Structure 1
């Protein structure tokens, strides 16, 4: 019997006859059938499977990542915002619980749902679609959801290490600082000792940095109107700090609009979200340890 090849299969007028040879007399004891099956097995392993892999670029199983159980969308953000502003006190927490039941992770709740919803409310306020009181009520209800999930005994997002302490604040005069609460929660779960002062003035922050030793000072900036004042205040904070190597990071709404925000303010780094802030802070602290 001639050896089977991929070309003979493609050229055959009646492939089933090649794949299933006519049975031989009983005296052959099935030797031809066994030989054909053996050739077919080698053909599949040596030619057909490699060609299919080249055609479809099949990745090995280890390279294929499982799809997330839940993917937050803008529709989820809009619905949560609507429920927080216009629903009753339990509407927003109940909606988030339903999304968690669908597979939403704690990080998704904090960043993709709560923080995104707070930003949407701020945009609606700026466009005069939500009143100040509506946004205040909505953020208060989102704060309830944050506290509900912050109290849960879940694994930390980061790795425990040497004692790390940060002071987080918002630009003085900012009306709403819900995003700062999200950042504080991420730092806390990342193994940091957090002092969060959303309503503190410059003099209060300066006294706190001078009195206690902090590794990091994080400031949320909401507008570009007072950048020169903020730059001057950050310089003042560095001079007053009990830690001569204080790491200063800026973030908040302006971080997404000004990639060079850190340079404008005289800070060491800028973070666009809570996860990035913790990652930058951990990287900076690790670099100090390596230099020591």
Structure 2
């Protein structure tokens, strides 16, 4: 497996800010669903079944599978964190175990992104009114791509009443311009690999130096910070997003 191809899959297949919910193939086998029967009607084999449907050329069966769980009463936030995110991780596991090829995973992720966008309207139907104090900028570290996980985190922030801006700056100068032009209570950076810790740290320094909010909170997320919590302080961040559902809760402490 080439390092370049592995990096692409880690950036797009593994939902990085939700890695704490379960293991990928590299750390102990396929994703499974741990459900609370009182909380959600999802079942333990739903993740594997959905992942199999996502690999099909046609998206319809996978969409119907998710919609059936909605009709059974599964709440949107549980579908995001207990079904869609683990299904993405399971696709990564299948690829790493050579049980499907990269083309299959690409098709599966395209289907999954579409389903997530469909589910977003349900998630946001219960959104809190937007509070002007709650403005967050979410972005990948320059050089990385927007990930499935970052999109998911943005949806949870919107549901919690945050004004969300997402961007993909090409470098620190562009990031500095973003925080100079607009006031943000929180800036969230997703970091993909240990090799880019210096880049993450440099971005955080640029945010603090140029931010219109001199007390801006900086949160980081991604597998490197989940596996090594001490790196959070090392790069100069204030906190690490545990998962998409908890990120807005953690961010509340930065609201004056």
1:236 to 189, 203, 206: 206
Counterpart of 2:52?
Answer: 82
TM-score (norm 2): 0.77
Alignment of 1:1-292 (within 5 A): 67-73=38-44, 75-152=45-122, 154-156=125-127, 161-175=131-145, 177-197=147-167, 199-202=168-171, 203-285=173-255, 288=256
Greater relative contact order (Cα < 8 A, sep 6+) = 2
Post-superposition shift, 1:160?
5.5
Note closer, same or farther for the CA distance 1:281–1:101 as it changes in structure 2 (3 Å cut): same
Q: Rg bigger for which structure?
A: 1
Runs of 5+ unmatched residues, structure 1? 1-64
Partner-residue secondary structure (3-state), 2:55: helix
RMSD over equivalenced CA pairs, Å:
2.4
Q: What is the CA–CA distance in structure 2 between the aligned matches of 1:126 and 1:210, rounded to whole Å? A: 42
Q: Which runs of 5+ in 2 are unaligned?
A: 1-35
The one-character-per-residue Cα deviations of 1:41-90 (angstroms, maximum 9, x if unpaired) are xxxxxxxxxxxxxxxxxxxxxxxx992242453x2122222211235121
The match for 1:55 is: none
Instruction: Provide the rounded CA distance (Å) in 2 between the counterparts of 1:258 and 1:281.
Output: 20
Q: Counterparts of 2:40 and 2:89 in 1: how far apart (Å)?
A: 25
